Amino acid sequence: MARTLCMTRRTAGAIQKRPGAVIHLAPFLPNASLMKFCSNCGHAVVLRVPEGDNRPRSVCDSCGTIHYVNPRNVVGTIPVWEDKILICKRAIEPRYGFWTLPAGFMEIGETTAQAASRETLEEAGARVEVGELFSMLNVPHVHQVHLFYLARLLDLDVAPGEESLEVKLVDEADVPWDDLAFPTVIHTLRCFFADRAAGRIADSSFRLHTLDIDKPMRPLTSRATVTP
Ligand code: ZN
């Protein structure tokens, strides 16, 4: 039998494999990901390390399903029109009222480039020609990988979608740096403008930008209650 940890007691955020030996769940299975009932059969699940595995999973002993929780892809674009880029003001939490690049969760059955194009249309009403992948940013504490593509805006017929309050074209001087929603967006835009200034966008000589963001943004505020 493979090394299997038998969970005899579970406390908040931790499991015990034997007296005095506690595995902290945080790096493996955050509380938000804990499930109580099997989504396949409805039976109560238990948290344990499956045989041959090395970390705790929600396991259904009724139907045998092991419920794996894996990171999700957030995919978006940097929509470019001449010397400007298109940004969206968020109409949803988190970071309601802050500005962002059009992006969202990838759906089953689509490619990353298709997801980027769809999200740009949904959030900004914008049709784009998706170009090269520009940045890939790991955000492990929220279980996400963010991907941003360069994109060429095909026309100026844009409008905020359900998840946006407003969309606008800005040049570098008008980017609301203090009101950007997420560090992945800030990093991507800094790299974009640096590459553009150096001519690396024009001749496609830029390299893929990567970054690991391992700390939460504090405070994760909203502009929802701010009175103009
Ligand atoms: Zn089940």
Tell me, yes or no, whether 103 and 194 share the same domain: yes
Higher-confidence residue of 209 and 20: namely: 209
Tell me, yes or no, whether 17 and 103 share the same domain: no
In the three-class reduction of DSSP (H, G, I as helix; E, B as strand; rest coil), residue 56 is classed as coil
Residue 26 reports pLDDT greater than 70: no
Number of domains the chain is built from: 2
Q: Residue 61 falls within a domain, yes or no?
A: yes
For tokens 């209650």, the residue is 225
Q: Which domain holds residue 126?
A: 72-212
Q: What is the 70 CA–ligand 1 centroid distance (Å)?
A: 19
Q: Residue 111 falls within a domain, yes or no?
A: yes
The last residue of one of the domains, among 33, 52, 67, is 67
CATH code of residue 154? 3.90.79.10
| Mean pLDDT computed over 155-175 | 97
- Radius of gyration over alpha carbons of the chain, in Å? 21
Tell me, yes or no, whether 201 and 113 share the same domain: yes
What pairing do the DSSP bridges indicate for beta strands 72-81 and 84-90?
A: antiparallel
**Average confidence score pLDDT of the chain:** 86
pLDDT value for 214 = 87
- Sign of the C-alpha dihedral, residues 164, 139, 133, 193? positive
At 168, the pLDDT band (50, 70, 90 cuts) reads: very high
pLDDT value for 224 = 64
Tell me, yes or no, whether 162 and 95 share the same domain: yes
Q: CA 176 from chain center: how many Å?
A: 21
Tell me, yes or no, whether 89 and 52 share the same domain: no
Q: Residue 29 falls within a domain, yes or no?
A: yes
Q: What is the 66 CA–ligand 1 centroid distance (Å)?
A: 8
Tell me, yes or no, whether 77 and 54 share the same domain: no
What pairing do the DSSP bridges indicate for beta strands 46-48 and 57-59?
A: antiparallel
d(C-alpha 163, C-alpha 122), whole Å: 8
pLDDT value for 136 = 98
d(C-alpha 79, C-alpha 63), whole Å: 46
Tell me, yes or no, whether 94 and 181 share the same domain: yes
The last residue of one of the domains, among 28, 43, 67, is 67
d(C-alpha 60, C-alpha 85), whole Å: 48
| Mean pLDDT computed over 59-83 | 97
pLDDT value for 27 = 46
Tell me, yes or no, whether 76 and 63 share the same domain: no
Q: What is the 43 CA–ligand 1 centroid distance (Å)?
A: 5
Q: List Cα–Cα distances, 159 to 88, 164, 169, in angstroms.
A: 10, 9, 11
**In percent, how much of the chain has pLDDT > 70?**
82
Tell me, yes or no, whether 81 and 190 share the same domain: yes
Ion ligand 1 — residues with CB < 5 Å: 38, 40-41, 43, 60, 62-63, 65
Q: What is the 30 CA–ligand 1 centroid distance (Å)?
A: 21
Q: Residue 136 falls within a domain, yes or no?
A: yes
Tell me, yes or no, whether 100 and 187 share the same domain: yes
Q: Residue 218 falls within a domain, yes or no?
A: no
| Mean pLDDT computed over 120-137 | 98
d(C-alpha 165, C-alpha 160), whole Å: 6
Q: What is the 60 CA–ligand 1 centroid distance (Å)?
A: 5
Q: Where are the beta strands (DSSP E) in 91-196?
A: 99-100, 103-105, 128-139, 144-153, 164-170
Tell me, yes or no, whether 31 and 133 share the same domain: no
The last residue of one of the domains, among 67, 86, 102, is 67
| Mean pLDDT computed over 189-215 | 96
CATH code of residue 19? 2.20.70.10
| Mean pLDDT computed over 82-91 | 97
| Mean pLDDT computed over 47-74 | 96
Q: What is the 36 CA–ligand 1 centroid distance (Å)?
A: 11
Question: Residue 180 corresponds to which tokens in the numbers above?
Answer: 């950007």
Question: Residue 189 corresponds to which tokens in the numbers above?
Answer: 């835009």
| Mean pLDDT computed over 100-128 | 98
pLDDT value for 215 = 81
Residue 19 reports pLDDT greater than 50: no
What pairing do the DSSP bridges indicate for beta strands 46-48 and 128-139?
A: unpaired
Q: Residue 142 falls within a domain, yes or no?
A: yes
Q: What is the 47 CA–ligand 1 centroid distance (Å)?
A: 13
| Mean pLDDT computed over 183-206 | 97
At 219, the pLDDT band (50, 70, 90 cuts) reads: low
Residue 167 reports pLDDT greater than 90: yes
Q: What is the 23 CA–ligand 1 centroid distance (Å)?
A: 25
Q: What is the 45 CA–ligand 1 centroid distance (Å)?
A: 7
d(C-alpha 178, C-alpha 82), whole Å: 24
d(C-alpha 70, C-alpha 207), whole Å: 27
Residue 12 reports pLDDT greater than 50: no
